[in-house]
């Protein structure tokens, strides 16, 4: 009887200890913490004109640094890479002088081998809402975007101005996301994000023949984030003296 009572007591103590640890555990997300993350996804150009007409979606990549100001607001600086291909037989705005053979049988220029590539560098202010182990965010902010157009892996040249189609442009970005923290790794989260940008990629003096409009890519990706302490607590020196009354 005593042996059984001891077993029950040990089991009950272990159960209470495990429960207390589980209840004490919480996501490792708090003000003054920083975060780094990266993700893979799928992007497609939805606007405009030559950038989006007959476009195909392609893989996308991203990396970000975050700083948590408080429970409701954080900042994010991110960099990424997006690109788009085009449907076989789709019409190009002009004949690429580097590849005059890229036409249909009737002489219409085509963009079978064209690629539009975009590298965004953006800064956002994000509003956050935490629900247990879930954290939701909505963010927006300015960015600088490098855009270039290639044909057969060579930068396209405008036939009127002979300027190669590449440059950096201003724009804005926005994203909506939800991340779930892991119980075993409370400072790590898995996140789903939907983002978009509006890039002012129009230069009438350089590219009057085509590929001259805004660019609006949409990006859906899955990310992994890790949060860490940015401010270390100050160490106290023990003098060995008894505390003052």
- Report pLDDT digits (tens) over 36-50: 999 999 999 999 999
Query: Helix H segments across 74-205?
Result: none
Q: Which of 10, 38, 52, 89 is nearest to 215 (CA)?
A: 52
Q: Does residue 52 register a pLDDT over 80?
A: yes
* Nearest-angstrom CA–CA distance, 229 and 30: 9
pLDDT tier at 17, thresholds 50, 70, 90: very low
* Nearest-angstrom CA–CA distance, 118 and 146: 6
Query: Prior bond to 101 cis, omega within 30?
Result: no
* Nearest-angstrom CA–CA distance, 109 and 10: 80
Write down the residue that tokens 């919480």 correspond to.
26
Q: Does residue 244 register a pLDDT over 80?
A: no
pLDDT tier at 235, thresholds 50, 70, 90: low
- Report pLDDT digits (tens) over 150-181: 999 999 999 999 999 999 999 999 999 999 99
Q: Do the Cβ atoms of 151 and 98 come closer than 8 Å?
A: yes
* Nearest-angstrom CA–CA distance, 183 and 75: 25
Given the candidates 1.10.3720.10, 3.40.50.150, 3.40.250.10, 2.40.160.20, the CATH classification of the domain at 27-229 is 2.40.160.20
Q: Which of 151, 165, 166 is nearest to 96 (CA)?
A: 151
Q: Tell me, what's the pLDDT at 231?
A: 78
Q: Tell me, what's the pLDDT at 243?
A: 57
Q: Which segment of 82-86, 165-169, 231-235 scores lowest on mean pLDDT?
A: 231-235
Q: For residues 44-72, give the mean pLDDT.
A: 95
Q: Does residue 7 register a pLDDT over 70?
A: no
Q: Tell me, what's the pLDDT at 238?
A: 56
Q: Do the Cβ atoms of 193 and 221 come closer than 8 Å?
A: yes
Q: For residues 59-73, give the mean pLDDT.
A: 97
């Amino acid at each position: 009887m005593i042996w059984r009572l001891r077993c029950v007591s040990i089991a009950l103590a272990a159960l209470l200890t495990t429960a207390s640890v589980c209840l004490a555990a919480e996501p490792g997300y708090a003000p003054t913490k920083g975060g780094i993350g990266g993700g893979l996804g799928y992007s497609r150009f939805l606007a405009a004109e030559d950038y989006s007409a007959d476009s195909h979606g392609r893989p996308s990549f991203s990396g970000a640094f975050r700083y948590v100001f408080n429970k409701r607001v954080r900042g994010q600086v991110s960099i990424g890479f997006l690109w788009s291909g085009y449907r076989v037989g789709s019409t190009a705005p002009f004949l690429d002088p580097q590849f005059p053979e890229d036409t249909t049988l009737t002489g219409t220029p085509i963009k079978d081998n064209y690629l539009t590539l975009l590298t965004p560098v953006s800064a956002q202010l994000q509003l956050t809402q935490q629900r247990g182990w879930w954290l939701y965010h909505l963010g927006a902010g300015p960015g600088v975007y490098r855009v270039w157009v290639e044909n057969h892996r060579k930068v396209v040249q405008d036939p009127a101005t002979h300027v190669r189609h590449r440059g950096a442009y201003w724009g804005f970005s926005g994203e909506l996301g939800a991340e779930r923290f892991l119980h075993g790794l409370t400072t790590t989260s898995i996140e789903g994000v939907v983002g978009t940008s509006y890039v002012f990629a129009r230069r009438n003096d350089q590219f009057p023949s085509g590929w001259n409009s805004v660019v609006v890519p949409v990006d859906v990706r899955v990310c992994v984030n890790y949060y860490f302490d940015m401010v270390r607590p100050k160490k106290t020196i023990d003098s060995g003296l008894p505390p003052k009354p």
